[in-house]
């Protein structure tokens, strides 16, 4: 029977390294995807994922079982992502885009439209547009949108993770979605 | 119900979380307002699009990298580390021992007297030998000639032992804590440096801000533009870096990683000292020929107003371009003499037609003195082609809506097939702009000028640097 997070956390807090390693294996994919959607590129997401788990390990003794481990972990992930976003404000825009069509996730360059004047739109193009649109949202909106619509946390979990009121979670989510709608509006025919 | 009120309910309506009466109100408004109805349709499509994003599979090495990071965190402490942790305790114990020895030593010289560190001549009415009860019992004459010097020496010894005790009471200095290494590879934000004195075309100037300047970023490069960011920690002494570990670093970041337990590398201590401030000039020289499959030569020209013991130039390419003869992207690592214009050449091979992109970074040991540039090189073809001669490039049709300026400029260069070098001082203002069949070069100037950035055209390349 697989260990639950709470069992693994209890063992990890008492010094069992293997238990923490299992926690990593069980959570790193979701953590990576959350960071990837928040930060927009694979390299930053990898760094943020590593940093989040190291921070979690170091502060594990301070974790109280009053909230779920995943909620606590996502709080760390969000803080790491916010730190990254704020430290990289006004910096180089990443030119790397990942095609999310299930193929090799290695980064590929933006398509050179000048070389493909009649490029047809594929499903991967929709994914690319949405990913880019999410990256253009303000970080507060982006965070709530990613946590709710992609990571799958509830309003209450997001409120606890981000330490904001429930009403704020709902209003930010709505505004994030409205802003996203406006960003992808020129290409909306791809989605209708 | 007003349109704004209706749109505030879109998420609740989509999730089916409205009460019956609220839902009726909202649906009633949508039925009568075509704008809101269209907006809700788009809203629903957008939400579905986000939820339809497929999970991204990370690189296979990620889990191993996490484990490696955790192992480094868990690394068993070395004897030096344990001793280091006990430093304050050891220091306190040493203080006690020194004070005890000092008191014993002093009392052996002058038992039963209070410590008086004043020179004997400053002590009013001081009769040297009367201070010591024991000497009173001894014959005076044999000691008379030596007493003053002896007592002065005793006072000096007492003073020294007292001083030693005072020194020992100070807490042992902790090893200098190095600022945390940047975790990510992307460059730090540009600094709001003072206006350039004489900006050369295509040059990126970096200047280390004066110490103590508030609100000034000591991090990255170019000369102008950019908003303020949080100041970094104190300048790192180059000797404190664990260069061996840094060179082994997979990312190849020269100054990225330091380890608190690693011994300081003393090998660089003998080199020229790292200056507190400096001005760094960087210019990218694009290749003239643009042929795929063949090495083409590009260069970076460097100069600095102060001698630097070590400067690193790194080139990062995308997958369809290869950098030749390089380790981890570094094309130069070496000193830079003040006033010397150093040109670092490197060869690139494009493996695909069209536009190539690369990033050039220049790192120095001076915190905040560094430079980064995004370079766009269009026009790689199967046959040798001279770099684009038309300064305005090709006409383009674009629409930007709240698009970050850097992203917009890079897209313009790519579509318009013009060479472009963006200094890191060009920050991320958002632009809303639309044009139809307008020469790319003109669009670049329009957008750059609108935000007060400098645009120079030289060597068939647009160089955009921070605002004056």
A17-39 and B62-74 helices cross at what angle (nearest 10)?
130
User: What CA–CA distance (Å, rounded) separates B3 from A82?
Assistant: 33
Paired sense of beta strands B279-285 and B330-336, if any: unpaired
What local confidence, expressed as pLDDT, does residue A113 receive? 38
pLDDT recorded at residue B131: 39
pLDDT band at A178 (very low <50, low <70, confident <90, very high): very high
Q: B316 to chain A nearest CA, in Å? A: 12
Question: What is chain A's length?
Answer: 192
Residue B49 and residue A184: Cβ atoms within 8 Å?
Answer: yes
Instruction: Please give the radius of gyration of chain A, using alpha carbons only, rounded to the nearest integer.
Output: 18
By CA distance, what is B10's nearest residue in A? A174
Listed as ranges, residues in chain B with pLDDT below 70 are 75-273, 319, 381-391, 427-428, 467-468
- Residue B360 CB neighbours (<10 A): 23
The reply to whether residue A42 touches residue B59, judged by beta carbons under 8 angstroms, is yes
The predicted-structure confidence for B289-342, as pLDDT tens digits, reads as follows 777 777 888 999 888 888 888 899 999 887 678 888 777 788 998 999 888 888
Provide the Cα torsion B67, B73, B76, B82; round to 10°.
180
B12 touching chain A per CB within 8 A: yes
On average, the pLDDT of chain A sits at 79
pLDDT at B402: 76
pLDDT digits (tens, 9 = 90+) for A130-152: 999 999 999 899 999 999 999 88
> Does B11 lie at the interface with A, CB-CB under 8 angstroms?
yes
- Look at residue B30 in the predicted model and tell me its pLDDT: 92
Confidence check: pLDDT of A104 > 60: no
> Distances from the Cα of B61 to the Cαs of A115, B57, B71, B184, in angstroms?
34, 11, 15, 16
Query: In which band, very low, low, confident or very high, does the pLDDT at A189 lie, cut at 50, 70 and 90?
Result: low
For B202-220, b/e burial (b = at least 16 CB within 10 A) is bbbbbbbbeeeeeebbbbb
Going by pLDDT thresholds of 50, 70 and 90, the confidence category of residue A174 is very high
Average confidence (pLDDT) over A118-133? 69
- pLDDT of res. A4: 75
Please report the pLDDT score of residue B79 as a whole number. Answer: 54
Residue of B nearest to A30 (CA): B55
What are the distances in angstroms from CA A100 to CA A44, A70, A106, A185, B226? 17, 25, 10, 21, 33
Cβ contact B50–A180 (<8 Å)? yes
Work out the end-to-end distance of chain B between its first and last CA atoms, rounded to an integer number of angstroms. 50
Torsion angle, alpha carbons of B394, B400, B403, B405, to 10: 40
Q: Is there a contact between B415 and A114 (Cβ–Cβ < 8 Å)?
A: yes
Task: Tell me which residue in B7, B53, B394 faces A178 most closely, judged by beta carbons.
Answer: B7
pLDDT for res B448: 87
Please give the DSSP secondary-structure letter assigned to residue A16.
Answer: -
Alpha helices in chain A (DSSP H): 5-13, 17-39, 42-58, 69-87, 123-135, 139-145, 155-162, 166-184
pLDDT at site B134: 40
Which H, E and C letters describe chain B, residue by residue?
Answer: CCHHHHHHCHHHHHHCCCCHHHHHHHHHHHHHCHHHHHHHHHHHHHHHHHHCCCCCCCCCCHHHHHHHHHHHHHCCCCHHHHHHHCHHHHHHHHHHHHHHHHHHHHHHHCCCCCCCCCCHHHCCCCCHHHHCHHHHCCCCHHHHCCHHHHHHHHHHHHHHHHHHHHHHHCCCCCCCCCCCCCCCCCCCCCCCCCCCCCCCCCEEEEECCCCCCCCCCCCCCCCCCCCCCCCCCCCCCHHHCCHHHHHHCCCCCCCCCCCCCCCCCHHHCCCCCCCCCCEEEEEEECCCECEECCEEEEEEEEEECCCEEEEEEEEEECCCEEECCCECCEEEEEEECCCCCEEEEEEEEECCCEEEEEEEEEECCCCCCEEEEEEEEEEEECCCCECCCCCCCCEEEEEEEEEEHHHHHHHHHHHHCCEEEEECCCCCCEEEEEEEEEEHHHHHHHHHHHCCCEEEEECCEEEEECCC
pLDDT of residue B71: 86
pLDDT in tens, A44-96: 999 999 999 999 999 988 888 777 888 899 999 999 999 888 886 655 444 43
Residues 6 or more apart from B79 whose CB is under 8 A from it?
none
* CA pair distance B356, B317, nearest whole angstrom: 8
Residue partners of B51: CB distance under 8 A and separation at least 6 = A149, A150
Compare CB distances from A54 to B43, B69, B320 and report the shortest one's residue. B69
CB A109 to CB B357 under 8 A?
Answer: yes
Are the C-beta atoms of B69 and A50 separated by less than 8 Å?
Answer: yes
Cross-chain Cβ contact A181/B417 below 8 Å: no
**CA-nearest residue of chain B to A129?**
B49
pTM, entire model: 0.42
B263 or A176, greater pLDDT = A176
């Amino acid at each position: 029977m697989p260990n639950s997070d709470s069992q693994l956390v209890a063992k990890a807090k008492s010094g069992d390294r293997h238990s923490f390693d299992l926690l990593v294996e069980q959570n790193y994919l979701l953590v990576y995807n959350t960071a990837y959607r928040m930060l927009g590129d694979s390299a930053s997401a990898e760094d943020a994922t590593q940093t989040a788990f190291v921070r979690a390990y170091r502060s594990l003794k301070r974790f109280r079982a009053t909230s779920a481990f995943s909620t606590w972990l996502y709080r760390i992930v969000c803080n790491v992502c916010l730190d990254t976003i704020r430290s990289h404000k006004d910096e180089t825009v990443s030119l790397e885009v990942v095609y999310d069509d299930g193929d090799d996730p290695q980064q590929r360059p933006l398509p050179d439209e000048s070389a493909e004047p009649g490029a047809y739109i594929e499903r991967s193009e929709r994914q690319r547009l949405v990913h880019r649109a999410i990256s253009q949202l303000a970080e507060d909106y982006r965070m709530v949108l990613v946590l709710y619509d992609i990571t799958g946390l509830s309003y209450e979990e997001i409120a606890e993770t981000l330490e904001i009121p429930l009403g704020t979670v709902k209003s930010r989510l709505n505004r994030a979605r409205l802003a996203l709608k406006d960003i992808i509006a020129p290409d909306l025919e791809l989605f209708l | 119900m007003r349109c704004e009120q209706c749109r505030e309910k879109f998420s609740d309506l989509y999730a089916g979380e409205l009460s019956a009466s609220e839902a009726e109100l909202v649906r009633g408004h949508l039925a009568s307002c075509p704008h809101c109805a269209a907006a809700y349709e788009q809203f629903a499509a957008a939400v579905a699009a986000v939820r339809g994003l497929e999970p991204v599979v990370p690189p296979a090495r990620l889990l191993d990298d996490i484990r490696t990071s955790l192992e480094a965190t868990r690394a068993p402490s070395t004897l030096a580390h344990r001793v280091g942790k006990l430093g304050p305790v050891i220091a306190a114990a040493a203080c006690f021992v020194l004070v005890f020895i000092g008191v014993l030593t002093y009392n052996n010289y002058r038992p039963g007297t209070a410590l008086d560190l004043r020179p004997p001549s400053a002590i009013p009415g001081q009769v040297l030998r009367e201070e010591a009860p024991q000497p009173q019992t001894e014959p005076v004459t044999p000691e008379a000639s030596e007493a003053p010097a002896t007592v002065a020496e005793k006072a000096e010894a007492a003073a020294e032992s007292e001083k030693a005790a005072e020194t020992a009471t100070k807490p042992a200095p902790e090893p200098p804590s190095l600022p945390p290494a940047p975790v990510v590879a992307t460059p730090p934000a540009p600094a709001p440096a003072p206006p350039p004195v004489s900006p050369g075309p295509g040059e990126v100037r970096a200047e280390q801000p004066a110490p103590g300047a508030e609100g000034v970023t000591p991090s990255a490069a170019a000369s102008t533009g950019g908003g303020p960011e949080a100041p970094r920690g104190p300048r790192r002494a180059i000797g404190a870096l664990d260069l061996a570990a840094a060179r082994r670093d997979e990312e190849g970041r020269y100054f990225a990683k330091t380890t608190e337990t690693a011994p300081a590398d003393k090998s660089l201590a003998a080199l020229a000292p790292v200056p507190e401030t400096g001005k760094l000039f960087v210019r990218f020289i694009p290749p003239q020929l643009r042929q795929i499959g063949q090495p083409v030569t590009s260069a970076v020209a460097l100069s600095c107003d102060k001698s630097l013991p070590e400067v690193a130039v790194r080139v990062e390419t995308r997958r369809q371009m290869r950098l030749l003869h390089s380790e981890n992207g570094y094309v130069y690592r070496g000193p830079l003499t003040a006033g010397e214009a150093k040109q670092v050449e490197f060869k690139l091979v494009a493996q695909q037609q069209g536009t190539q992109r690369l990033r050039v970074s220049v790192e120095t040991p001076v915190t905040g003195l560094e430079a980064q540039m995004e370079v766009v090189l269009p026009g790689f073809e199967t046959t040798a082609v001279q770099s684009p001669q038309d300064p305005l490039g090709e006409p383009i049709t674009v629409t930007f809506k709240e698009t970050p300026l850097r992203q917009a400029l890079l897209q313009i260069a790519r579509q318009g097939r013009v060479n472009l070098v963006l200094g890191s001082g060009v920050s991320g203002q958002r632009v809303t702009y639309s044009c139809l069949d307008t020469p790319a070069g003109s669009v670049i100037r329009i957008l750059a000028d609108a935000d007060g950035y400098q645009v120079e055209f030289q060597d068939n390349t647009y160089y955009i640097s921070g605002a004056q």
